[in-house]
């Protein structure tokens, strides 16, 4: 079963669906390889605090990464995620992809980190001690047929 979660960040509702295990494992490997230094550097930073306190650890963790690679990795993490942006004419659903990234996050770069943390927690919850929790929003991607004898 694949978990689906939603969270409001910066006045926008974000929805994400857990990746299948093979895609998740591939992404996890890429995250550790590419973003390991960033994750390690941010380990002691409170994400709810002012991001100014994170500048030093972020600079240390990001110093050896190619900026284009960071954006590509962020998009890979958020591949099963979309935003619902409130507008006067009604809510607008936008998949998080290269075309919509600026529309969603212009002037809200702190939200990028918050959404990434949310999506990473949903996809890799067993690393955060939540592996046994399946909420009512759990869905199945495919049902396995059973044979009645």
pTM of the model: 0.74
| pLDDT reported for residue 104 | 96
CA 68 to the chain's CA centroid: 18
Beta-carbon contacts of residue 124 (< 8 Å; ≥ 6 apart): 24, 28
Which tens digits make up the pLDDT trace of 79-122? Answer: 999 999 998 888 999 999 999 999 999 999 989 989 998 998 89
* 143 has pLDDT over 50: no
């Amino acid at each position: 079963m694949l978990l689906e979660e939603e969270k409001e960040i910066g006045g926008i509702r974000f929805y994400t669906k857990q990746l299948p295990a093979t895609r998740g494992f591939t992404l996890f490997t890429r995250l550790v390889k590419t973003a390991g230094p960033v994750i390690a550097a941010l380990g002691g930073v409170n994400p709810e605090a002012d991001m100014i306190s994170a500048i030093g650890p972020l600079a240390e963790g990001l110093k050896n990464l190619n900026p284009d690679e960071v954006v590509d990795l962020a998009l890979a993490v958020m591949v099963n995620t979309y935003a619902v942006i409130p507008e006067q004419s009604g809510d607008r659903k936008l998949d998080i992809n290269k075309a919509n990234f600026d529309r969603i996050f212009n002037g809200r770069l702190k939200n990028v980190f918050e959404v990434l943390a949310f999506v990473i927690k949903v996809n890799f919850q067993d690393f955060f001690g939540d592996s046994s929790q399946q909420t009512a929003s759990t869905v199945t991607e495919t049902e396995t047929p059973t044979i009645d004898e």
